[in-house]
Chains A and B, each alone.
Chain A
Amino acid sequence: TVGAVALDFNGHIAAATSTGGLNGKHPGRVGDSPIIGSGTYARDDVGAVSATGHGETISKWCLAHSIITAMQRGADPQTATETSLNQMTDKLKETAGAICISKEGKVGIGMTTKRMSWAYRKGDELVYGIDKGKQEVENV
């Protein structure tokens, strides 16, 4: 699965997600990626989210909407992302990852998996990582 969230010069926000799904899945199986509120969500007045991981679990948890709702209630993007993911995994025993930006352009990156590749560019900085809790920075 891949996904992206963005904030443009005019303060508008968007999100997108795309996937081949699960290896060996039943024909016709649909995961969370095309479900608004599960794999993808964007609101200019709050932020944007794209998710990846166990699709059935993300769909049941409405993960993207859960993260946005936490932000709407005042959580910063990182806390909202980590909290929603941890609550989902605690309750449903499956793993996922998600990226998030707030309307101010603050970043949230979380995973309950071992790894998830991610990167963002803001100004002249390219920040990226794949292992939980680790990141590197390059000037571009």
Chain B
Amino acid sequence: MEPIVLVHGGAGNVRDSRVPPKVAAVKVAAIRGYEVLERGGSAVDAVEEAVRTMEDDECMNSGHGSVLNSEGKVEMDSSIMNGATMDAGCVAVVRDIAHPVSLARMVMEKTPYVMLAGEGAMGFAKEMDVEMLPPGALVTDDAQKALEIYKQTGGVFYEIGETETVGEVG
């Protein structure tokens, strides 16, 4: 079987200046995920590593660099699924965690549940000794500017410097 790792960033009306960093981010993620397979890792290991790589990249809307909610806070959602067993793990409305996808994998592998959300997910993260970042550690300047523009324009989706009114939609 010839292995493959395929990754994506956000779908939307990405402005031209954001194209190079976003393309660079997905290229690195695909390579990192594939390296996991070359070292004997599983498909689950590979998708986790690829997503973790993008969660660390400020130009992607996940982990560090996530967009902000109306209160200026990062709230993240993530999921992972093992096609061999159809086991799945998901987290929703989690904060101050660098890699939500790894917490989702813990839900999949260490609980009888599919999804944990909000305070319950955060409590589970503490039980799993997941590192808690200081409040606001995942908030970037770009994300703050985007929220300011969002509020000024009355709620249209907007990227920093975008001349068009629609940015990434999710």
Residues of A within 8 A of B (CB): 1-36, 39-44, 47-48, 50, 52-55, 58, 94-101, 105, 107, 109, 111-123, 126, 128-130, 140
Given A28-B75, A101-B4, 16 new contacts (CB under 8 A): A1-B11, A3-B7, A4-B7, A4-B8, A4-B46, A7-B1, A12-B43, A15-B81, A19-B10, A20-B74, A26-B70, A98-B8, A99-B8, A116-B11, A117-B14, A122-B3
B83 within 8 A of partner (CB):
yes
Cα distance, A37 to B4, chains bound together (Å):
22
Contact call A107/B3, Cβ cutoff below 8 A = no
A116 to B87, CA, bound (A): 28
B125 sits at the interface (CB 8 A): no
Residues of A contacting B27 in the complex (Cβ-Cβ under 8 angstroms): 119, 126, 128
Main secondary structure of the interface of B (DSSP, over half): mixed
Indicate if B71 sits at the interface (CB-CB under 8 A): yes
Restricting to B1-24, which residues have a CB under 8 Å from any CB of A?
1-14, 19, 22-23
Bound-state CA distance A39–B81 (Å) is: 11
Provide the B70-105 mask, 1 if CB < 8 A to any CB of A, else 0: 110111111111111010101111000000110010
Complex A-B, nearest 8 residue pairs according to Cβ-Cβ distance, in ascending order: A20-B66, A97-B11, A13-B83, A42-B83, A117-B9, A14-B43, A4-B50, A2-B54
Contact assessment for A121 and B34 in the assembled complex, using a CB-CB cutoff below 8 Å: yes
**CB of B60, distance to nearest CB on chain A (Å):** 5
Secondary structure call for the A interface: strand
| Chain B residue total in the interface (Cβ 8 A) | 86
A40 contact from B75, B88, B167, Cβ within 8 A: B88
B67 touches A27 (CB 8 A): no
For B118, the closest partner residue in chain A by CB is A28
The answer to whether B170 and A31 touch across the interface, beta carbons within 8 angstroms, is: yes
Measured CA separation A55–B29 after assembly (Å): 23
User: Among the interface residues B3, B12, B30, B83, which one has the most CB atoms of the partner chain A within 10 A?
Assistant: B83
Name B74's closest neighbour in chain A (CB-CB). Answer: A20
Q: Is the CB of B22 within 8 A of A117?
A: yes
Q: Is the CB of A33 within 8 A of B78?
A: yes
